Structure 1
Amino acid sequence: MLEEFKKFALKGNVVDLAVGVIIGAAFSGIVNSLVADVIMPIIGYVTGGLDFSNYFFQLGGAPAATYDEAKKAGATVGYGAFLTVALNFIIIAWILFLAVRGINRLRKTEEEAPAAPPKQEVLLTEIRDLLAKK
């Protein structure tokens, strides 16, 4: 059973998946920083300095000025944080769409190129053609 597990764990697909997960985690950090440190401040500036992370509806507890205080006070709907996460998702989905689209185009061009027939087939075709002439 240990040998079977070793074969499974070292298959190309499992290793590729592990690499993909690690790269995805690193990519997620980049996208989070892009949204939090670049895009959201620009949107905040355009909208008059609004900070989306502090957009919330407080459903219960003592009134609070910030989202963190409101979460501690009771039931709170933090739609600003949700907007930030949704924007992260849209960016990641768009980049992955472009990557998969590019890979599919590369595969398509490779598949469209006709493969040269094997040497044996070429020789047999020549022999057939020579015999047909006689």
Structure 2
Amino acid sequence: MAMMEEFKKFALRGNVMDLAVGVIIGGAFGRIVESLVQDVIMPPVGKLFGGFDFSNYYIPLNHQGTALSLAEAKKAGAVFAYGNFLTVLLNFLILAFIIFQMVRLMNRIRHHGSPEQAKEPATPEDIVLLREIRDALKR
């Protein structure tokens, strides 16, 4: 019985719940970014580089023709799907950039939050006195 109570205490602690919420939100956010890349960014980029969809670029490894779509080519045998890799890599770079911007914004808010936080804390009297003695000795 003690193990179950210990597990309950662990599972209901704030950090575990925050982590669970973060994972769920992260998964949903990942799908949003994936859609952004595949549906909004990749079509113009593909058009810029010859009007093709990167995700269907591949090199067949079993001598079949390249006129098949990637899914059909995978069914026919092994393929080197470099276009799909480029799409996933672009997804990652965009996601990493967006997360970087979010963290950067949160750090700015944290450092420039309220005016009371922006003020420097008062210097203790003994430090002020020591500085005055130091300055007097320098003169």
TM superposition score category, shorter chain reference: 0.7 to 0.9
Q: How does 1:9-88 map to 2 (within 5 A)?
A: 9-65=11-67, 66-88=69-91
Q: Structure 2: give runs of 5+ residues left out of the alignment.
A: 123-139
Letter of the structure 2 residue corresponding to residue 88 of structure 1 = N
Q: How many correspondences in the alignment?
A: 118
TM-score when scaled to structure 1? 0.78
Is this contact kept in 2: 1:55–1:81, CA < 8 A?
yes
Instruction: Work out whether 1:98 is the aligned partner of 2:101.
Output: yes
Structure 1 residue ranges, 4+ long, deviating more than 6 angstroms after superposition: none
Is this contact kept in 1: 2:56–2:83, CA < 8 A?
yes
46-55 vs 35-44, which moves further = 46-55
**Deviation of 1:112 (Å):** 4.4
TM-score when scaled to structure 2? 0.75
**C-alpha distance in 2, partners of 1:113/1:102?**
20
Partner of 2:92: 89
**Deviation of 1:109 (Å):** 3.0
**C-alpha distance in 1, partners of 2:50/2:103?**
37
Q: Give the root-mean-square deviation of aligned CA atoms.
A: 2.2
Is this contact kept in 1: 2:59–2:66, CA < 8 A?
no
Identical-residue share of aligned pairs (%): 59
Partner of 2:128: none
